[in-house]
Structures are given as structure tokens and as C-alpha cells.
Structure 1
């Protein structure tokens, strides 16, 4: 019995030296009444971070005079990326099931009739569905009306 306790104490010291944070956990045979002798000591490992539910790259080409960034990244679930209005955009995309061009048009905006085409594209995934959508708009104003804040975040 004494020999068994000495081996358990040595195992605890070795585990504490090799695994940070294991010093607080005593061997199962010593710490828990009724545990079987020689039970393995396991250190708790942190759970791996979950992959985001959605990950998109949003790009604009054409109409460089509008001064928009060429590409934005967006992750949803958890919300993140370089998009300045990520929480709002993730909420809007959730309503459309990830359909980037499926939002209802915004009201109260008027656009000029000039033709300065803007191509908006979204690539990545929404859940398990691969996204590779692209649409050409007559100008940046039309993009803002039809695609909401997904490609044209509101400026404060």
C-alpha cells in the first residue's frame, strides 16, 4: 500500500512538471474516494474554437471614384471580419438565408441615370452551402439601394 502511494505521488509530480495546470488536480486514485487504484490522470484540454457559421469575401470592382474598399471579409457565428457593419450585415443575411442579393431594396433613395457599372461579388460559404454570387449594377447608387449595407456600409 505504501509503495502504491509513493508511485502515485511520483506520477503526480511528473504530471505537474509536464502539464501546466495539472498540479491542482490530484491523481484519481488519491483524490476520489472509491476510485480504483492505478486510474489514469487526465488533464482537461480546452475545447477547440468552433469554425464560423459563415465566411464571406465581398468585393467591388468598377466605379473607383466611390472610394470604397476593394474587398471586405465577413464572418457570422461568431461575428467578425473587416466589414465595419458586420453585426447588421450578419443579421440581414440571416433573414435571406445567406442570399447576398436577396434583400428587399431600400426605400427613400434616388439615383442618377448615369452608367458607371459596379460589379459586386460574394464568395465563401453560408453554413454548408458554397457561395459564389456576382451581380453588375448600373452605378454605385443602384448597388446601395439593391444590396443594402452588405456592400455599402452606412457611414457615420
Structure 2
């Protein structure tokens, strides 16, 4: 009996080191398929979808200035390009960078000026509070704005 216990523990330890889950019997467990799309995950009252308010001024894009509500998971609100904006936010969620983070104080930014456009995004994204301001006053800020298009209006608004 002790030999069988050692064998089971050895198989379990090997599986853990290899990242393979095992049952109490020592047999590997079959992987459980997970849903790939975010729509497949059930929404609950404890985990509401994204809810953002986007305020844009002096964008230079016809019909884009104003305040809009954007909801994702499910898509809705008054944002003119809600589906595309939610798709972009879903894409950004898979990255390691926070799209709402300010430009680092240590960033070396070009002295390129992109205009007087300003935007503020506040609300909830991926379960956390967001309150971010955007502008186009230098190359870093322009890149940051463009990374969030079409949540923020762009050339193809």
C-alpha cells in the first residue's frame, strides 16, 4: 500500500510541475473548455459591463463633440460608434498596458502639436473606476488619443 501511495503522489507531483491537473486517483483530468469570447461569459449583478461617459471638445471632427454614454457587455448608450468603441476596448483589455493611464512623467515626447482637442473618459471599465483626460498637445498625447480611437473621435470618426 505505501508503494501505491508514493506512486500516486509521484504522478500528482509530476503533473503539478508540468501544469497538468490530476484527480485524487492520480489520473490526469481532462481539460475543461473555456469560452473564448467575452459574450460567452455570463453577466451578473456583481459584474456589470463597462459603463463610460465620454466628453469630447474641439475635436475638429464634425458631429463628434459632446458628451456620450458608452456601455459594453452589452453594447449600448449614445456613443455614435458604440460597437466599434466596445470592440476596441475589448481588444485593449487583452493587452498589458492600461489605455487610460496618463503619459509617464519620464516619457520623451515630440513637440508635435495636434490641436486643441480634449476629452475626458470616466466611469467603470473591467470592474475598476476610470477617470482619464486626453488631449493632443504633444506626440505622446496624440499617440495615447489614437490608441483609444474610436472611443475617442479620429480621422475616420
- TM-score with structure 1 length normalisation? 0.48
Say which one has the larger Rg.
1
- TM-score with structure 2 length normalisation? 0.48
